[in-house]
Structure 1
Amino acid sequence: MTIFAELGMRYPIIQAPMAGVQNAELAMSATRAGALGSLPAAMLGPAELRQALEQLAASGPGPFNINFFCHRQNEPEPAEERRWREALAPYYGELGVRADATTTAPGRAPFNAEHAAILTEFKPAVVSFHFGLPEPELLARVKATGAKVFASATTVAEAQWLAHHGADAIIAQGLEAGGHRGHFLSEDLALQQGTFTLLPQIVAAVDLPVIAAGGIVDGKGILAALALGASAVQMGTAFLCCPEATTSFLHRAAIQGIHGHHTALTNLFSGRPARGIVNRLMRELGPFSALAPTFPHASRALAPLRAAAEKAGESGFSPLWAGQNVSGCRDLPAAELIALWVTEAGLR
């Protein structure tokens, strides 16, 4: 029996955790449809996390995947913040925003002891991590709950490290994938590859189930990944236009617009490389800037600009996370999308 059959999944499909564009509703819909629904927890405070887990628990036995970041977080550097605000000053003036304006932006806390305590209470089937794995004592607490541990790798070396340090399955995140890159051993993006070149190399390098992620938006993509040795696929972008997603109107419009296919990696919105649809800020500053504060602090100075622009109906300062292939984004309930993919892939 595979790890995914043990979890009670009918189909080898994982709904990717997507912070900022979903809540528990999308996870519940995906799991009810036979996939593995995921909840992004990195931007949730303890009370919010507990409330979301209570929702999931009330919806049935699952299974569910709870996803966390496990980066090393440093305090904001005032000098970095000052330089970043100076770079953004023309936009503050244009939008009529005070240069010292502050707007509360959701935090991105790394996995910690409080998270581990909450997981001990709720015992989710899967706990997944982005940016490596937590410290050994915290990882041991997760494993003590009985949860399977999944973690993202963007290179073969990262996959081998994860296998050696306690992961139960590897998520092979190709360069096509939307949102934040999961790299943690090296910041050199030149080391990273597309999904269908990375996947077979990781399959050959580790003796663990491998999950393909990045650019997979339909049944044909699922079949291709399985043929290259994946035990399952993780799909995120294709869910962005589902009614259960919390994707904003402006974000949906960008996905469905004529430039929705134009994505790039950028550090402007958080301080760490993430793939999103190219918008005004990325075009005018370039997708990467040495002035952007370290992750996750770049969003602090951008938050008031984003709020002002969105109020005016513009998405030029918003992170429009999406993968390279938006062709599978449809305004359909998640269960209908999953059923369509299952039929296309002949998985019934």
Structure 2
Amino acid sequence: MNPPINLLNLNIPIIQAPMAGVQGSQLAIAVSNTGAMGSLPCAMLTLEQLHQELITIEHESKNPINLNFFCHKKTQLDDSEQVIWFQKLQPFFDEYKIDTHHINLETNRQPFSQAHVDVLAEFKPKVISFHFGLPEPHLIEQLKSWGATILSSATTLEEALYLQNHQVDIIIAQGLEAGGHRGMFLTEDLTTQVSTLALVPQIVEAVTVPVIAAGGIANAQGIKAAMALGASGVQIGTSYLLCPETNTSLLHRQALLSDEAKHTAITNIFTGRPARGIVNKAMRQLGFINSFTPSFPYATPTMSALRKEAEAKGKNDFTPLWAGQNTSGCTLIPAAELTKLLAKAL
């Protein structure tokens, strides 16, 4: 059995997965106020938005909340990549009568930086997590200087060992079933990605820090199974997508409640990085993994332009319908009620 996650001071060893694009602080607050831990996805927030969300959290919850950031390597927009990508998407641009000259190719996904640390310093949050690896060591040292506990996602045993050797206090073992972006950072080879059932015991056996199981855990039975594998806690995202505290779109909610949700796949076409979502027209026609997709996050603006037009017609054809393989836990109840229901397994 792995070490407990007492350092998080949780009454319920459940972490609500950060889900950028479908939630803000209200979901995180609702979960944390139950004694579990809510998470705020920060990668798509401006510094001003981050500051405002932290003020809201400070006013509405006395319990710790996990602040989650991306750690991708920022690259410059590659014009040649975009030209090829536009050519691939041209039939869809024609279908929706989109003038590509008006597409803004800027993106709001920013990697963790000193500017983020400067905003956080005012609040000195106790829990901070990372996706796609880790920021520079000097940034982690600043966070730890005020007592922050550091979490990060590992999708392979090698990534878990790397994280343990680089100041991470708790490892999130992200199995292949998980919805949203894969946290992979030491490799781009999708064949290295394994199920939660295979990944968690490997990591538990190899590291001395606590391990959180993530991916395909949607109900009490899943929680019990993860803990039996040696996990010190679980991270659950998909099951929260229908809660009223989220801003999950109507089209996304409808897909989760339909037979469409039975078929999810990993795709790179929406952002440039592999992520799991419900299969839709874009994924079927462009291919789940398209080698011409621009590097992360520069695929997003063009797909967003198509998404806007399709959604205006009531279609989810170009919407990233992020979800894990197990949507059976999606329930139309408040997040606090769902968390307490899940906690009955413990």
Structure 1 and Structure 2 fold alike (TM over 0.5):
yes
User: How do 1:176-195 and structure 2 match up within 5 A?
Assistant: 176-195=177-196
Q: Could you say which residue in structure 2 is the equivalent of 1:21?
A: 22
1:231 aligned partner, one-letter code:
S
Q: Secondary structure at the match of 1:87?
A: helix
**Alignment of 1:170 onto 2:171:** yes
Q: Could you say which residue in structure 2 is the equivalent of 1:252?
A: 253
1:22 aligned partner, one-letter code:
Q
Distance 1:30 1:299 in 2: 29
**Alignment of 1:137 onto 2:138:** yes
Q: Secondary structure at the match of 2:130?
A: strand
Q: Secondary structure at the match of 2:226?
A: helix
User: How do 1:222-301 and structure 2 match up within 5 A?
Assistant: 222-301=223-302
1:203 aligned partner, one-letter code:
V
Distance 2:48 2:5 in 1: 30
Q: Secondary structure at the match of 1:121?
A: coil
Q: Secondary structure at the match of 1:122?
A: coil
Q: Secondary structure at the match of 1:151?
A: strand
TM-score, normalisation: structure 1: 0.97
Distance 2:154 2:305 in 1: 33
Distance 2:142 2:172 in 1: 21
Any conservation in 1 of the 2:310–2:316 contact (CA below 8 Å)? Answer: yes
**Alignment of 1:208 onto 2:214:** no
2:191 aligned partner, one-letter code:
A
CA RMSD of aligned residues (A): 1.2
Distance 2:304 2:210 in 1: 39
In the TM superposition, residue 7 of structure 1 has moved relative to its aligned partner by 2.7
In the TM superposition, residue 310 of structure 1 has moved relative to its aligned partner by 0.8
Q: Could you say which residue in structure 2 is the equivalent of 1:218?
A: 219
TM-score, normalisation: structure 2: 0.97
Q: Secondary structure at the match of 1:260?
A: helix
Distance 2:103 2:203 in 1: 43
Distance 1:275 1:107 in 2: 20
2:49 aligned partner, one-letter code:
E
For residues 70-122 of structure 1, the C-alpha deviation after alignment (integer angstroms, 9 at most, x for no partner) is: 11010110111111111111111111211323157751100000101111111
In the TM superposition, residue 261 of structure 1 has moved relative to its aligned partner by 1.6
For residues 200-259 of structure 1, the C-alpha deviation after alignment (integer angstroms, 9 at most, x for no partner) is: 000000000000000000011111111110001000000001010110000011111111
Any conservation in 2 of the 1:104–1:303 contact (CA below 8 Å)? Answer: no
Q: Could you say which residue in structure 1 is the equivalent of 2:320?
A: 319
Distance 2:333 2:257 in 1: 14
User: How do 1:43-82 and structure 2 match up within 5 A?
Assistant: 43-82=44-83
1:82 aligned partner, one-letter code:
V
Unaligned runs of 5+ in 1: none
Unaligned runs of 5+ in 2: none
Q: 1:265 to 1:242 in 2, by over 3 A?
A: same
Any conservation in 2 of the 1:16–1:38 contact (CA below 8 Å)? Answer: yes
Q: Secondary structure at the match of 2:100?
A: coil
* Matched pairs, number: 344
Q: Secondary structure at the match of 2:186?
A: coil
1:7 aligned partner, one-letter code:
L
Q: Secondary structure at the match of 2:262?
A: coil
Q: Could you say which residue in structure 2 is the equivalent of 1:101?
A: 102
1:211 aligned partner, one-letter code:
I
Q: Which runs of 4+ in 1 moved over 6 A?
A: none
**Alignment of 1:8 onto 2:48:** no
Q: Could you say which residue in structure 2 is the equivalent of 1:34?
A: 35
Q: Could you say which residue in structure 1 is the equivalent of 2:88?
A: 87
Q: 1:3 to 1:123 in 2, by over 3 A?
A: farther
Any conservation in 1 of the 2:69–2:131 contact (CA below 8 Å)? Answer: yes
In the TM superposition, residue 157 of structure 1 has moved relative to its aligned partner by 0.5
Any conservation in 2 of the 1:102–1:303 contact (CA below 8 Å)? Answer: no
